[in-house]
Amino acid sequence: MGFELIVRGGTLVTAQGEQRADLGIEGGQIVSIADELLDGAPHTLDASGLYLFPGVLDAHVHLNEPGRTHWEGFETGTRALAAGGATSFFDMPLNSSPPVLDAATFEAKRAVAAAKSLLDFGLWGGLTPLNLERLDELAEAGVIGFKAFMSHSGLDEFPAVDDVTLYEGLKAAKRLGLPLATHAESDGFTRRLTELARSGGASTARDYLNSRPVVTELEAVQRALLYAHELDAPLHLVHLSSGQAVALAVEAKARGVDVTIETCPHYLHFTDADVERIGAALKCAPPLRPQAVQDDLWGALLRGEIDIVGSDHSPAPPDLKTSDDFFALWGGISGAQSTLNVLLADGHHQRGVALAAISVMTALNPARRFNLPQKGELRVGADADFALVNLGQRFTLEQADLQDRWRQNPYVGTSFQGQVTATYLRGRAVHQHGQFDSTVGGKLLTPHLQGAL
């Protein structure tokens, strides 16, 4: 059998564990996995001493192009992702302008992403009270799933769903065979608490944190789970910030609800105290939580209850991240580059999370949940997407290492153990030691659905 590339001497990370093996790659796919492959390929990559993780599939990023490329665009955003070991990502329907709410806006984003993305990409379609009747055409266009906000999204052009829209949207999602993702914070709760705080002159980071307590997440999660249960519809809960919210979803899953659970690296790494110390770079919604809440989230992760870890990379230009009024700042954390680093350092090295579990949460589970059989694992027949990781290597993240548009990553100065040294997409290096190759070119990923459309 001919190979275009042999990756020699590495340790493969799979859902089953770790395996010392060579990879044979041909036509951008893994065609052989063996203890030792014979020579004869035109290219050989020496991976001895390194781990091969399946390329991260970041199911949650906001690259904001077209329309807000000055916030972040496909070029800079995908470099940050590639530097962190990602080979694919799903772009959220906002904060691009216009947001992706129908086939025409899908096509506008697809075209610019196809021209500029370094990595393979899927596109989320939005669900708002404005476009319920457009979900069929979005499915036809090839969205990976639908995304709804249960509280204000930060942008008036992407309004929150009312209960009827959410219920009907879940019904459509079931019919179309695509998961519906919810940003689960209660609008009634967060809106009123924000009004009360601001009318009393509140403006500090602590005031903001107090306006979005955990109960506002629990109420929305409970309601979304109720509807999904009633309808037997596929629900994906993005960026759960608390162990309590995960527990509600786990309980529902045990009752047969078709729900998957995402959390983000920032909820695992930072706490409310860090928001007060670091400020705007750590403003997000739901907000960062007290240590005890984070401890519960880690407990859930260690029990295998977190399906997916996504970055929720959501940058904004410095003027939107600068104000004396914490409520007025853009909410969103720029962490696309650091997902694997947080999981390796805080998860594996500090808490003993298995490498296999990390690969499942960052690659296999998102590929499975969103129906991409070619992605997510190091297996014969799958795309040759992988990150090379020097697991023991310690490094301190410097501003100069950052690839995102505004270098706002809140992990700057953090010392991590476990470094990504290169990232391969379909058998070709898109990133090596801080150098990027855009000639490979990212492709649109659309779900492989069996007879649903």
Residues placed in the known binding site for Zn(2+): 60, 62, 147, 183, 239, 312
**Token pair recorded at residue 351:** 């808490």
Q: Exactly one of 207, 219, 312, 404 binds Zn ion (CB under 5 A); which one?
A: 312
Question: Could you identify the residue written with the tokens 């995908």?
Answer: 78
Choice between 293 and 420, CB closer to ligand 3AL:
293
Judge if the upstream peptide bond of residue 95 is cis by omega within 30 degrees of 0.
yes
Choice between 94 and 309, CB closer to ligand 3AL:
94
Choice between 62 and 134, CB closer to ligand 3AL:
62
Alpha-carbon span 202 to 193, nearest angstrom: 11
Which does residue 153 bind out of ligand 3AL, Zn ion, none, counting CB within 5 to 8 angstroms by kind? Answer: ligand 3AL
Choice between 174 and 236, CB closer to ligand 3AL:
236
**Token pair recorded at residue 62:** 């906001």
CB 371 within 8 A of CB 447: yes
- Number of helices and strands (H, E) in the chain? 15, 20
Alpha-carbon span 353 to 23, nearest angstrom: 25
Least separation in angstroms between CB 157 and ligand 3AL: 11
Choice between 224 and 389, CB closer to ligand 3AL:
224
* 3-state DSSP assignment of residue 184: coil
Which does residue 117 bind out of Zn ion, ligand 3AL, none, counting CB within 5 to 8 angstroms by kind? Answer: none
Among the listed ranges 256-264, 265-273, 279-287, 310-318, the one in contact with Zn ion (CB under 5 A) is 310-318
* 3-state DSSP assignment of residue 163: helix
Least separation in angstroms between CB 240 and ligand 3AL: 12
CB 282 within 8 A of CB 270: yes
Which does residue 369 bind out of ligand 3AL, Zn ion, none, counting CB within 5 to 8 angstroms by kind? Answer: none
Least separation in angstroms between CB 275 and Zn ion: 17
CB atoms within 10 A of CB 104: 12
Among the listed ranges 306-314, 369-377, 396-404, 427-435, the one in contact with Zn ion (CB under 5 A) is 306-314
Least separation in angstroms between CB 367 and ligand 3AL: 23
Provide the Cα torsion 314, 69, 403, 427; round to 10°: 100
Residue of 284, 335, 323 lying closest to 154 (CA atoms)? 284
Choice between 155 and 273, CB closer to ligand 3AL:
155
Alpha-carbon span 95 to 327, nearest angstrom: 19
Residues flagged as binding site: 60, 62, 147, 183, 239, 312
Residues whose CB falls within 8 Å of the CB of residue 25, separated by 6 or more in sequence, listed in order: 3, 4, 5, 6, 7, 31, 384, 427
Choice between 265 and 418, CB closer to Zn ion:
265
Least separation in angstroms between CB 109 and Zn ion: 16
Residues whose CB falls within 8 Å of the CB of residue 397, separated by 6 or more in sequence, listed in order: 338, 341, 409, 411, 412, 413, 414, 415, 416
Residues whose CB falls within 8 Å of the CB of residue 200, separated by 6 or more in sequence, listed in order: none
Which parts of this chain interact with ligand 3AL (CB under 6 A)?
A: 62, 94-95, 153-155, 183, 284-285, 312, 314, 331-332
Least separation in angstroms between CB 287 and ligand 3AL: 8
Least separation in angstroms between CB 155 and Zn ion: 12
Which does residue 284 bind out of ligand 3AL, Zn ion, none, counting CB within 5 to 8 angstroms by kind? Answer: ligand 3AL
Which residue minimizes CB distance to ligand 3AL? 284
Residues that bind Zn ion (CB under 5 A): 312
